[in-house]
Chain A
Amino acid sequence: MRLRIGTWTWVAALAAGVVLVSVSVVSTQQPAARAYRAPRAPDGHPNLNGIWQAMNTAHWDIEAHSAGPSAVRDLGAAGAVPAGLGVVEGGELPYRPEALTKKKENLADRLKLDPEIKCYLPGVPRATYMPFPFQIIQGGEHVMLVHEFAGAVRTVYMTNQTEAPADSWMGWSNGRWEGESLVVDTRGFNDLSWFDRAGNFHSDALHVVERFTPRSADTLLYEATIEDPKVFTRPWKMSMPLYRRVEANAQILEFRCVEFVEDLMYGHLRKEPRKQ
């Protein structure tokens, strides 16, 4: 009897411990972020204005991954993949079986297939965590997200919200304020952008809900819930901090990469030198 009680006590303690552990895991992100109250913009909403950048390896692979070699031999260590703990909550991405096969094909053939390599608009949420800064410009009716990579730009409509008039690379975004968070609901994507360099992809049924929540003066919590029934069996979520570029002269510079990919894309159509 004593033993039995002891066993139950132990089980209960263990369960409590699990709860504590899970609470503490969650608490590293959410309660801390909720507790912070951001300075206000002149219109009274939290002030997210500034230049932000992710500092992780999600642009290589949003899932947890080991370090790996460069896909381009000549780049050696400079082109190698740094390891990363992943930004996807709850483990593996819930791919449908046929979609998982396509993901693997994308990865195997990524030098040919990755839209980033061709300087195509990066899509959402990929644009947010590419290794380039982006700027939030918080007007009253429109919040602009201006990315350095390929000059990608998103208009978030805070008023006059409509459905996407047509599919696009960066989607059609409607926004709202929920407490401290800017919530951006984006649909109307084409099926051509990826999530990362590891071939993770989506279809034109993609629906992204992002939350930008100030968590300190110079950091935001970025959360994106991804829904795409053609590719995934259930919605899933990624989250990561974004860091303010605090340099006094920080600015978004030009990265007009079209010029840098022309020989790659059209070099085979160049006129051969005349044979004398």
Chain B
Amino acid sequence: MKHFRVVVAGLAALVWAVPAVVLGQSAAPARSAAAGATSAASKPYVVPRTADGQPDLQGFWTNSTYVPLERPANVNKEFYTPEEAIAVEKSAAARESEQTEPGTVADVHYDFTQFGLDRSQSTFARSLRTSLIVDPPDGRIPPLTAEGQKRTAERAAARKAMGGQYDAVQNMPIGSRCIIMGGAGPPMMNAGYNANYQIVQAPGVVMILTEMIHDVRIIPLDGRTAPSPGVRQWTGVSRGRWEGTTLVVETTNFNGKNPFRGASEGMKVTERFTRVAADRVLYRFTVEDSSTWAKPWTAEMPMAKTDGPIFEFACHESNYGIANILAGARADEKRAAETAAKKGSN
């Protein structure tokens, strides 16, 4: 009887292992939300260590994924079956390849598939989750508090007062301006393309280089004091520590110029990086900002091992587009004024 149970457990494990193989995962995203949970079939994964004994997160990773931050309205379960997940990926990949109208200027410039920039042509981190958000359990960002709604309305009004998007460079999205990608975070949301990261560790420090706009985070692990509130940054100020094999990073001191989902400058982000397999890091983050959301909320996304190297992403230096867009807008205005003047004189 005892033997029989073991066999059953082994079969069950095998069943679980199959979708993992189908999905190309060495560590299935298991039904348990616990970081580090791996498929029941595999031996517990032993995290390698760096020369100074830190759990080793080094290498090249991508958090590219087809899983949306929030659960789609027509889905009401936490996980897809492997077949459903593949279908979702396929339809998303098809949408990406049809994102622009063939034969148009936009098609020539923004058809990512031509340049291998769509997710289906590069590594992406597979997951059966229906949303990255794991808490609250409905997989959706909690509603904004009254204060959060007021702030969002004020920001929208202030933005509107600045004029049209092409009236001045400052009115354009910060990513287009090459200051920082909107989703750079923390939390580090996956970019539409080039969602690649390089992690390098040295005693007392973890460095994360993000390919998009060569963004570097240097996270000190030496237990130093909290940063002065006088220093506000686009990416905040981070402090890190190891909890077992998990890197825990707490970030505050945001400058409020790239608010994450309506958050205030007072937002605190806690990130957890756990290497759950040779080719997988589980990235989990909790966002706290009581003036914006009544309760903290948490999301989880896998990072898949990918090939390096990461090449220099010199964005601002070659940002001909932004000057041309503004110049085009001015030319349009001039043309419109001339047309109006002609009509007036007729």
Contact = CB atoms under 8 A, between A and B. Distances in A.
Nearest to B200: A139
Nearest to B178: A258
Contact of B209 (A155, A162, A269): A155
B341 to A, nearest CB: 13
B120 to A, nearest CB: 23
B209 A43 contact: no
20 contacts: A42-B52, A49-B203, A135-B218, A139-B58, A139-B202, A152-B214, A153-B216, A155-B198, A155-B310, A165-B311, A168-B314, A169-B314, A169-B317, A251-B218, A251-B220, A256-B179, A263-B169, A266-B322, A270-B326, A271-B163
Given A137-B202, A144-B209, A155-B310, 11 more contacts: A139-B50, A151-B216, A160-B309, A248-B224, A249-B225, A251-B220, A252-B218, A254-B235, A265-B323, A271-B164, A271-B168
B316 interface: yes
Closest 3 CB pairs of A and B: A269-B326, A42-B51, A139-B200
Interface in A24-81: 41-43, 49
B51 A140 contact: yes
B290 to A, nearest CB: 26
A185 to B, nearest CB: 16
B202 A266 contact: no
A99 interface: no
Interface residues of B, number: 52
Contacts of A160: 308-309
A266 B214 contact: no
A41 B54 CA distance: 14
B177 interface: yes
Nearest to A138: B202
Contacts of A271: 163-164, 166-168, 329-330, 333
A152 B313 CA distance: 10
Given A168-B314, A254-B233, A262 B170 contact: yes
A137 B52 contact: no
Given A119-B316, A256-B179, A270-B167, A146 B216 contact: yes
Nearest to B206: A137
A170 B169 CA distance: 26
Given A256-B179, A259-B179, A151 B311 contact: no
Interface string A134-148: 010111111010100
Residue with the highest number of chain B CB atoms closer than 10 Å, among A169, A170, A252, A256: A256
A258 B177 contact: yes
A121 interface: yes
A271 B314 CA distance: 27
**Which of A141, A252, A266: most chain B Cβ within 10 A?**
A266
Interface string B151-183: 000000000000110111110000001111000
Interface of B: 50-53, 58, 163-164, 166-170, 177-180, 198, 200-205, 207, 209, 213-216, 218, 220, 224-225, 231, 233-235, 308-312, 314, 316-317, 322-323, 326-327, 329-330, 333
A262 B177 contact: yes
B312 A169 contact: yes
Contact of B207 (A119, A144, A256, A270): A144
A108 interface: no
Contacts of A256: 179-180, 234
B177 to A, nearest CB: 6
A41 B224 contact: no
A120 B216 contact: no
A139 B201 contact: yes
Contacts of B180: 256
A166 B313 CA distance: 12
A29 to B, nearest CB: 27
Contacts of B53: 42
Given A119-B316, A139-B200, A144-B207, A253 B233 contact: yes
Contacts of B209: 144, 153, 155
Most chain A CB atoms below 10 A, which of B202, B207, B215, B314: B202
A157 interface: yes
Contacts of A269: 169, 323, 326-327, 329-330
A271 B163 CA distance: 9
A270 B169 contact: yes
A226 B213 CA distance: 28
Contacts of A254: 233-235
A121 B202 contact: no
Nearest to B315: A258
B202 A249 contact: no
B224 A43 contact: no
Interface centre among B180, B216, B218, B327 (most CB of A within 10 A): B216
Given A139-B200, A140-B51, A253 B205 contact: no
A42 B164 contact: no
A41 B312 contact: no
Contacts of B50: 42, 139-140
B174 to A, nearest CB: 9
A157 B52 contact: no
A137 B218 contact: yes
Interface in A74-106: none
Contacts of A262: 169-170, 177
A142 B205 CA distance: 14
A152 B316 CA distance: 12
